Chains A and B, each alone.
Chain A
């Protein structure tokens, strides 16, 4: 059996309609499940960044990243293990307001887990927690007995420890043309 590891794919691309489809098709074709996915502008103007988390073997991740990088609108793609990146996820928890006022424990839980209260209304309040998967998961377990009205967690966002030479690639293209 292949030895599976969690890899974070960082992809720098043009912001074109359909690129998401193209990238997910590469994973679909190889029967690879996407663990988490997020997209945002990058540090470079007009360049977008995708962060995709997959759990596959090293042999497979190399090939997948080669295929992703081959796509016309992809400037560069990288993959990293968890040790090579700094990553976080954000979770939101919607809880009945009554429990905030009636259950003293809940305030302790929020404080101890370094979560923030985003909003409070007569019916519900919303807690935000940013951290590793285990931390947001732990908070979810703790809040569950009080009745979670809604729970949602974002895809992973990550920055790498090593430098990524995307600006250099774009500059060398600019200089050539």
Chain B
């Protein structure tokens, strides 16, 4: 008899939960077991041929892995944990997914419903705790609620501006038997994921673009989330408009595209930042004017007319007032705009970006990438990685100097390839995220680039790599400092290096303890060989590169300064 998954008589809530995940196309979840979620784990055991569970070494690792998985696969990442500390350990990853719009469903066990509020063992109010950092959350106390709530959770998480959803399930609801049936959620009456595009606005914006002398595009992750990469490239090529990426927009367009002029923001490129305050029309596509992008708002692009393509109405006029807001999925709005804009080129204007790039090259990039000094720079490591990946790898970064350097110099030829913690700036993100990223794109090369500080925040996930043999490549750029904080201390706190120097363990030995091939590079002459060996391998690899201790990342817009006050040194 053919098994009908959509209807099941008299099954437990825990089993129903598994069927919900299968119905939503989930075949891989990350998590950590514990008392209040054991009935679900018992079902995971029974369904292990259909649903793989990856045991991370900490619940935070499960969330970051789920994020990495979501970002490379485009699917919803799923993380599962027990109540109490299991649940609270998820919070950092949830907050990260919320601010970086990553679709993720988190499932937490909860004490039995009759114990709620009694301060029972491992009881914590995870609904209350997670409310400010979730797109939606819900506590299930009856098994019969499971199908509808899970259908809603996946729908909410993935639709519109994606985000994390947390479902808390009491232990008695996991045990309770009921007749299961499942249908996917197609809409919620109080939720409007994609606002209707106003055609009039498209016409007005197109006219402004057609008349612009110095138009400039800044694109963000909305392009990747909306799968609008091709529409963006078509639009840019038709209009000839110079375009810059935000950190999360990076890889939406090949980095070597002639009209791709660099990164905006605090450690972005000189030209795009300077010329933000010179363009006459600024077209923001799927980005949210984060303060690390805009610097001082009162002097940000004041001379320009702002066109803002955005799916989330709450982002319109939040930081920068939009003269022409275009609500909706940018995949749709870019298509509509494309039809209305003229074929154009802006060669003289584009030349300005090249001129400023030359200045930046002489002042910064040359020293970063082909240094004359003895010590290794982070920049040359990235260049070496480019050489052997040819821009086709997924680069996962943590937070700090190495992240900025990687996002400045890494080359990309494919979308969904730059995975980093942008909005929240979560140190410890990269190692677990790389595990998820590799599982979300198993055929791709995945390289985690991490600082020595962030690496030690989630270093236990080496155990997950060991157990699953996930072929991620780990590059630790070790300067024995919390480098970005040290840089600020040098520049703004008179070199008072308060608690930023690290006495580090032998990272190579640690990786060896997890049976991961490992290598250390101290000298320039060994770098390329070590990187090549790492990239060529089909196994997990660890590479520590000891870089110059007190290098700084430039250019830099000092906190609170204007984008055009960007410093080259």
Contact = CB atoms under 8 A, between A and B. Distances in A.
A63 B320 CA distance: 12
Given A14-B190, A63-B314, A70-B312, A29 B132 contact: yes
A1 interface: no
Interface in A76-127: none
B135 A17 contact: no
Contacts of B132: 22, 25-26, 28-29
Interface in A6-24: 13-14, 16-18, 21-22
Contacts of A177: 186-187
The prevalent SS among residues of B at the interface is mixed
Contacts of A26: 132
B344 interface: no
A76 B187 CA distance: 16
A25 B131 contact: yes
The prevalent SS among residues of A at the interface is helix
A30 to B, nearest CB: 11
Interface string B174-189: 0000000000001111
Nearest to B190: A75
Chain B CB within 10 Å, residue with most, of A17, A72, A176: A72
A31 interface: no
Interface residues of B, number: 22
Given A70-B313, A173-B187, A22 B318 contact: no
A26 B187 CA distance: 24
Nearest to A74: B190
Contact of A66 (B137, B139, B190, B313): B313
Contacts of A16: 138
B190 A17 contact: no
B185 to A, nearest CB: 11
Report the interface size class on chain A: 20 to 34
Contacts of A66: 313-314, 316, 318
A134 B139 CA distance: 42
B173 to A, nearest CB: 15
B191 interface: yes
Interface string B288-327: 0000000000000000000000001110111000000000
B139 A62 contact: no
B187 A17 contact: no
Contacts of A163: none
Interface in B121-150: 127-128, 131-132, 135-139
Contacts of B136: 72-73
B156 interface: yes
A21 B189 contact: no
Nearest to B193: A72
Contact of A72 (B127, B156, B316): B156
A136 B187 CA distance: 45
A13 B188 CA distance: 12
B318 A72 contact: no
Contacts of B139: 17-18
A53 B190 CA distance: 22
A133 B460 CA distance: 59
Contact of B190 (A29, A63, A73): A73
A25 B191 CA distance: 19
A21 B317 contact: no
Given A18-B131, A70-B313, A13 B190 contact: yes
A28 B316 CA distance: 21
B131 A72 contact: no
A67 interface: yes
B190 to A, nearest CB: 4
A171 to B, nearest CB: 10
A148 interface: no
A135 interface: no
Interface string B104-133: 000000000000000000000001100110
Contact of A67 (B127, B131, B190, B314): B314
A174 interface: yes
Given A18-B127, A174-B189, A177-B186, 11 more contacts: A13-B190, A16-B138, A17-B139, A18-B128, A18-B138, A25-B131, A25-B132, A73-B190, A75-B190, A173-B187, A173-B189
- By Cβ-Cβ distance, the 7 closest A-B pairs, closest first, are A66-B314, A75-B190, A25-B132, A173-B189, A72-B136, A70-B314, A72-B191
Interface of B: 127-128, 131-132, 135-139, 156, 186-191, 312-314, 316-318
22 contacts: A14-B190, A17-B139, A18-B128, A18-B131, A18-B139, A21-B131, A22-B131, A25-B132, A26-B132, A28-B132, A66-B313, A66-B316, A70-B312, A72-B135, A72-B136, A72-B188, A72-B191, A74-B190, A173-B187, A174-B189, A176-B187, A177-B186
Interface of A: 13-14, 16-18, 21-22, 25-26, 28-29, 62-63, 66-67, 69-70, 72-75, 170, 173-174, 176-177
